[in-house]
Amino acid sequence: MIAVESLRIAVQGILSNRLRSLLTMLGVTIGVASVIILVAVGNGSSAAVQSQLEALGTNVLTVFAARGGFGPFGRGGGRSTVGTQSRSSGLTMKDVTALQKRQNGPDLKSVNPVVNAQPTVTYQGATYQPGQFVGTTAGYFEAENFHVASGRLFTQADVANHSPVVVLGQTVVQNLFGTADPLGETIAVNGVQFQVIGVLATKGNQGLQNQDDVASAPITIVQASLTGVSGTLNQIVVEAKSRKVTSLAEQEITTTLLSTHKITNGEPDFQVLNQASFISASNASQHTFTVLLGAVAAISLLVGGIGVMNIMLVTVTERTREIGIRKAIGARRAHIIGQFMTEAVLLSMIGGLIGVGAGIAGSRFEIIGIQPVVATYSVVLAFCVSAAVGLLFGIYPAGRAAALRPIEALRYE
């Protein structure tokens, strides 16, 4: 009964000074809305980064011939030999064959050798040097998340037949052909004729690297005509069966290559790069970013709470006489505290509710190029905090009201 009565009195108090109540609520509203929006922005940017990273291929593991226990950073066979460990072969087709054996890599979907060339490409007088010229096998495209925009990708048969065919990225196409259709045309790669059979869909920039500035041809023909058949590979691009098994796949690769490289001292002469671990690392940093944004917004919620306290103190002073009357006719401390606490909590909760609405509405718009994604937890948390803010900042004014001496309160004009 007394709770209902407190609520009624509180509503009356809020309504009796509408503008002031509204302005007080505004502080809490802005606080709650900014928590929701900023956390949503953090969330949205993290989702954007995530999807960018996923465009790289989430199941991909890249094996590099890398520094051994000692020598400098070396590639292929060109590393110096220091100390006792003179054996280093880099990556070879033997490694690829070993990895392709099912019993060695049950979690591997495809194993693709990669050789890189830096050729100059010409077409009817136009000359261009692609950022990447990759000789590889057919599974590479799926592993690296490349899709075909027109024409076709090369196949395993093309690889087996040493077919002089090439697939071009959008940037390369623009530089060589302008707006003309490149399909079926023949280009010269360091003087060797290749037929353009496909154009890749655009992937956009990834960090510093333009993912569209790429050309790719079967590894057999690239080795035969451009890099030489020395047998060393620049990378092996492995696709795991799913994102979940990337760590298992990493282990399988390591075990297999340690054995093909006859390494027993546990210091591999290769490096396995796991894309999934990149993603989780970036997730962690994105999370920090989101928390930081939320914390900044929480401060504004605190400021809103101080606004509530300020107004409640004014209200208590204004209603000193009323408090005196209530005490004279029998209100106890708890009644007075209840009345003013209810009013403070109600003020901040209504403000919080409006803030939730404003925050969700505001998160529908793109902010600094990021489409915010509202986090449910931030909505619940912000609202609960707004109610708690009312409680916290209502205690002091309510306590002041309850502590008033009835005679003095009655005399107050």
Partner 1 sequence: MTTGRRPLLAVLKVTKSYAMGTQVVHALRGVTLGVAAGDYVAIMGASGSGKSTLMHILGCLDVPDRGRYLLDGVDVRYLEDDELAEIRNRKIGFVFQSFNLIPRTSAAQNVELPLVYAGVKRRNRRLRALEALARVGLANRVHHLPSELSGGQQQRVAIARALVSDPTVLLADEPTGNLDSRSTTEVLEVFDDLNREGRTVVLITHERDVADHARRVIVLRDGRVVQDERRRPLVEAVA
Site for partner 1 in 119-148 (CB under 8 A): none
The dihedrals phi and psi of 239, each to the nearest 5 degrees, come to -105, 125
C-beta separation of 65 from 74 below 8 A: yes
Is 331 a residue that touches partner 1 (CB under 8 A)?
yes
Residue 15 CB, shortest distance to partner 1, in Å, is: 9
Give strand ranges (E) for 118-191: 121-123, 126-128, 132-136, 148-151, 165-168, 186-189
Total residues contacting partner 1 (rule CB under 8 A)? 23
Q: Determine the Cα–Cα distance for residues 326 and 322; give it in Å rounded to an integer.
A: 6
Binding status of residue 335 toward partner 1 by CB under 8 A: yes
Q: How far is CA 103 from CA 52, 113, 255, in A?
A: 33, 19, 12
Kindly identify the residues of this chain, within the stretch 44-73, that bind partner 1 according to CB under 8 A: none
- Is 230 a residue that touches partner 1 (CB under 8 A)? no
Span near partner 1 by CB under 8 A; candidates 34-42, 92-100, 156-164, 323-331: 323-331
Show the site string, 389-408: x = touches partner 1 by CB under 8 A, - = not: -----------------xx-
Shortest distance in whole angstroms from residue 401 CB to partner 1: 13
Contact (Cβ atoms closer than 8 angstroms) between residue 322 and residue 329: no
Only one residue has tokens 């989780």, namely 280
* Owner of token pair 């107004």: 311
Q: Report the nearest approach of partner 1 to the CB of residue 331 (Å).
A: 5
Using CB under 8 A as the binding rule, whether residue 75 contacts partner 1 is answered as: no
3-state DSSP assignment of residue 28: helix
Residue 203 lies near partner 1 (rule: CB under 8 A): no
Binding track over 5-34 against partner 1, x by CB under 8 A? x------x---x------------------
Which residue of 188, 321, 388, 412 would you call a contact of partner 1, by CB under 8 A?
A: 321
Are 35 and 297 in contact, with CB atoms under 8 Å apart? yes
- With b for 16 or more beta-carbon neighbours within 10 A and e for fewer, the 188-198 pattern comes to ebeeeebebbb
* Footprint on this chain of partner 1 (rule: CB under 8 A): 1-2, 4-5, 12, 16, 321-322, 324-335, 406-407, 410
